[in-house]
Amino acid sequence: MTSEPPTPPDLGTAELEQRGVDVIRGLAMDAPRAANSGHPGTAMALAPLAHVLFTRVMHHDPSAPDWPDRDRFVLSNGHASILLYSMLYLTGYGLTLDDIRQFRQWGSRTPGHPERGAAPGIEVTTGPLGQGVADAVGMALAERWLRARFDPEICDHHTFVIAGDGCLEEGISHEAASLAGHLGLGRLVAVYDDNHITIDGPTELSYSDDVAGRFRAYGWDVDPVGEVANDLDALEGALRRAIAVEDRPSLIILRSHIGYPSPHLTDTAKAHGDPFSDEEIALTKSILGLPTDQSFYVPDDVLELYRATIPRGQRYRRAWEQRLDAWQGDRSLWDAVQRGTGIPGWETKLPTFSPDDEPIATRAAIKVCLDATAEVVPSLLPGSADLTGNTGVLLASGTVQEAGSPAGDQVHYGIREHGMAGIMTGMAAHGGVLPVGGTFFVFSDYMRGAVRVAALSDVHVVYFWTHDSIGLGEDGPTHQPVEHLASFRAMPGLRLLRPADANETAQAWRIAVDSPGPTALVLSRQKLPVLPGTAERSPTGVPLGGYVLRDATGEAVHGDIVLIGTGSEVSVCLAAADLLARTGTAATVVSLPSWDLFAAAPEAHRASVLPPGIPRLSVEAASSFGWERYADASVSIDRFGASAPGARNMKEFGFDPEAVASRARQLLAELGQS
C-alpha cells in the first residue's frame, strides 16, 4: 500500500540515473525543434522531478495503465507535455520513439497538450492553466471517498500534480486548493514549479504572492525545498515527507530554472514557449554529454533503466490483486462503483409522474429522481456550489462530505463554481465516482472552462443547471440565462437536455447516468405541469432528442404547422395548439429537449418528427440563435431579461398561449398558407 514507502528500486548507478535525466532533457529539446512548436524549457527543468516520480516514488504499472489502485499523476502545466510523453515512452506505457518524433503533428498520439485518451497514462486533459490542480483535487477526493466506503486494502493511493506559476495564478486553482485544505485531502501532493518565468517575462511583472503563506492559510502542509531541482535524493525526500502527511494536502515549492542547462536560454522567457535553435540545442547537448549530431537519442542502457518500471509496477499491482481477492467486503458493490453507472436494472426505480399530480419544477423533479435511484447508482456523489437545496442535488439520505466524514456523499463546494467543475472532472477521470454538480444556469459561465475540458476529455460527469430562463423571475437579467442554451449547444461533446416536465426529467436522468461523457440537465425554477403523453412517449422520445408529443389529429398527421418547444415552453405550445384548433388550424406539438441527441437520431426519425414542407415555429425563452436549422420562425428572446415575477416576464416576452398562437397564424400568413 502506498501509505508505506516501497522497497527502494534497483536503479543502477547514480551516473546512469543522471544520464536518464539528461536523455529526457534531450527529448524535450528535440521534439519541439522537429515540430517547430512547443515548450521545451519547463520539461528540461523538471526532468529530474519526473524521473524521481516515475521511477522511485509512484506506484504505477505501465503494462496495466488503468489499474484502479495506481497512483495518479497530473501535469497541470500541460504546455510541458513533452515531459509526460517522454516518461510514458521511456517507462513503457506504449508510446514509441516515433510517437515522440511526431510531437504536435496531425493524427499523432503526442498532441500539443496532454489529452486524455490520446495515449495510455494520460490521466486528464490539461493545458488551460490551473485546471489540472482542480482535477488533482477531484482525484484525491475520489480516492479518499472510495477508501472510506470500502477499505484501504483495496483503495490506497496518492495523487501527484505538478503546477507552475500560471496554474497558481488562475482562479480555479485558488478555489480548488481552498476546498482541498478544508476537506483535509491528505493523499494529495502538489509540486509548485517556481521558475519565475511566464511568456511575457519574469513573474515579477505581475505576481508577488506569498504562495507558501497562501497555501498554509488554506490548510495545506507546505515544504519550501528551494534550489534542489537537480538533486534526485532531495526531491525524493521531499516527496516522501509529503506522502507521510495524512491529514492535509501537501505543497512542495521547488525553485527550478527553466531551460536548464542551456547556456543562453536558462531563466529566460524564450525558453518557455519557443523551440531552441539547432545551435543552442547542440551547445546544451554538449554540456549534457549527449551526442550533438543525433536527435531523439535514447541509448539502450537508459531505456532498460526506465523499463524496469514495468516489473516493479507489476509487483505492486499483483499484490493489490491478491488483497482484492482476499477482501471480505461487497465485491459486487465495488465492481458496480468502478463502472460508474447504475446497477443493472436501476432504471426501474425511476419515478413516473401523472398529469393529475401537482405541478412540479423540473429542479424539484430531478431531486425526486435522485432520491429514488441513489441506492442503485452507488457511484453517485452529488454536490453544489452553495445552492444545494435550490438545484435538486440534496440527497434525502445524504451525509456531508468533510474532513471528519470522508465517506460523506454530499459535497458542499462552496461558492466555487469553476473549482467545482474541475474537481468533478478529476473525480470522473479517477473512476469509481459519478459526480453530479448543481448551480444556477447563469453561473455555468463560471464553469465553462472546466466544462469544455470535460467535453474534450469525454469524462462522465453530470451538471444540474437550474433557474433556466426569464421564468425564474425577480432576480432579473443578471440571473436570467438567455444566451446560454445557444452557447452550450455549440460545445462539441457536451450532451445538453432541457426537459419539459417531470417525466422528461426522469428520462434525462436515465440518459445522464447511462451515457458516457458529460451531460447537462437544464432545469426550471418555476413549477410546470406534468404533461399528457410524456409518461408514455418520453422513454423512447427523449433519448432520440425530440419526439411528437401531440399529433395534430387523431390520425397522427402533422396538420398545418409544427410547434417546437423545449423545457417550460412545451406546455405553452400545447395550450397554443388548443387555441389554434378552435379556429381550424391543426398544430402538432414537438418536444425537442436535446439538439445533439436529435441530430444523432436516425434520419427517418427526424423526418417523422419534423417533416419537410410543414411550417415550423420554435418556442423557447432564450436566444433565437441556431433555431433556423429547425424552424421557419421563432418565439424567442434576443435581449436581456427583466426583474419581475416569472409569470409576468413570460407574458411580457410573448411566451403565453395567445401570443404563440398569434405568431403561428402570422407565420402561416407569411408563407401563404393561412
Cβ–Cβ < 8 Å for 653, 607: no
Cis geometry, peptide bond prior to residue 261 (ω within 30 degrees of 0): yes
Residue 116 has pLDDT above 60, yes or no: yes
CA distances in angstroms from 333 to 149, 185, 327, 510, listed in the order given: 10, 24, 13, 20
- Residue 552: band (very low, low, confident or very high) from pLDDT cuts 50, 70, 90: confident
Which of 161, 135, 155, 131 is closest to 143 using CA atoms? 155
Give residue 294's pLDDT.
97
Dihedral of alpha carbons 663, 667, 669, 674, sign: negative
Give residue 13's pLDDT.
85
- Chain segment 250-263, per-residue pLDDT in tens: 999 999 999 999 99
CA distance 391 to 315: 46
- The whole-chain average pLDDT of the chain stands at 96
SS3 412: strand
Which of 269, 208, 227, 239 is closest to 71 using CA atoms? 239
SS3 344: coil
CA distance 506 to 582: 33
- Residue 625: band (very low, low, confident or very high) from pLDDT cuts 50, 70, 90: very high
Cell readout for 622 is 432564450
Cell readout for 70 is 495506481
- For range 195-208, the mean pLDDT: 94
- Residue 559: band (very low, low, confident or very high) from pLDDT cuts 50, 70, 90: confident
Q: For the purposes of burial, counting CB atoms within 10 Å of the CB of 596, is it exposed (0-12), middle (13-18) or buried (19 or more)?
A: middle
Q: State percent of the chain over pLDDT 90.
A: 96
What is the residue type of 213? G
Sorted by sequence, the CB contacts under 8 Å of residue 55 that are 6+ apart come out as: 9, 11, 17, 20, 91, 305, 306, 308, 309
Q: Is 170 a catalytic residue?
A: no
Give residue 77's pLDDT.
98
CA distance 612 to 289: 71
CA distances in angstroms from 654 to 84, 143, 471, listed in the order given: 55, 50, 12
Q: What are phi and psi of 183, to 5 degrees?
A: -85, -10
Rounded to 10 deg, the angle between the 444-457 and 417-430 helix axes is: 20
The b-or-e profile of 384-411 (16+ CB within 10 A means b, else e) is: bbbbbebbbbbbeebeebebeebebbbb
Which is catalytic among the residues 17, 170, 236, 417? 417
DSSP string, 32-83: HHHHT---HHHHHHTHHHHHHIIIII----TTSTT-TTSPEEEESSGGGHHH
- Chain segment 149-172, per-residue pLDDT in tens: 999 999 999 999 999 999 999 999
Helix (H) or strand (E) holding 589: strand 587-591
Give residue 12's pLDDT.
65
Dihedral of alpha carbons 143, 145, 151, 154, sign: negative
The b-or-e profile of 88-100 (16+ CB within 10 A means b, else e) is: bbbbbbebeeebb
Q: How many CB atoms lie within 10 A of CB 1?
A: 16
Helix, strand, coil distribution of the chain in percent, nearest 5 = 45, 15, 40
Helix (H) or strand (E) holding 233: helix 232-243
- Residue 557: band (very low, low, confident or very high) from pLDDT cuts 50, 70, 90: low
Give residue 10's pLDDT.
57
- Chain segment 471-508, per-residue pLDDT in tens: 999 999 999 999 999 999 999 999 999 999 999 999 99
Give residue 558's pLDDT.
65
Q: State percent of the chain over pLDDT 70.
A: 97
To 5 degrees, how large is the angle CA 639–CA 643–CA 649?
70
Residue 327 has pLDDT above 90, yes or no: yes
- Chain segment 379-415, per-residue pLDDT in tens: 999 999 999 999 999 999 999 999 999 999 999 999 9
Q: Across the chain, how many H-helices and E-strands are there?
A: 26, 18
Give residue 6's pLDDT.
45
Domains and CATH numbers, the chain: 14-319 (3.40.50.970), 346-522 (3.40.50.970), 544-670 (3.40.50.920)
CA distance 136 to 162: 10
- Residue 623's Cβ-side half-sphere holds a number of Cα atoms within 13 Å equal to 14
Cβ–Cβ < 8 Å for 92, 62: yes
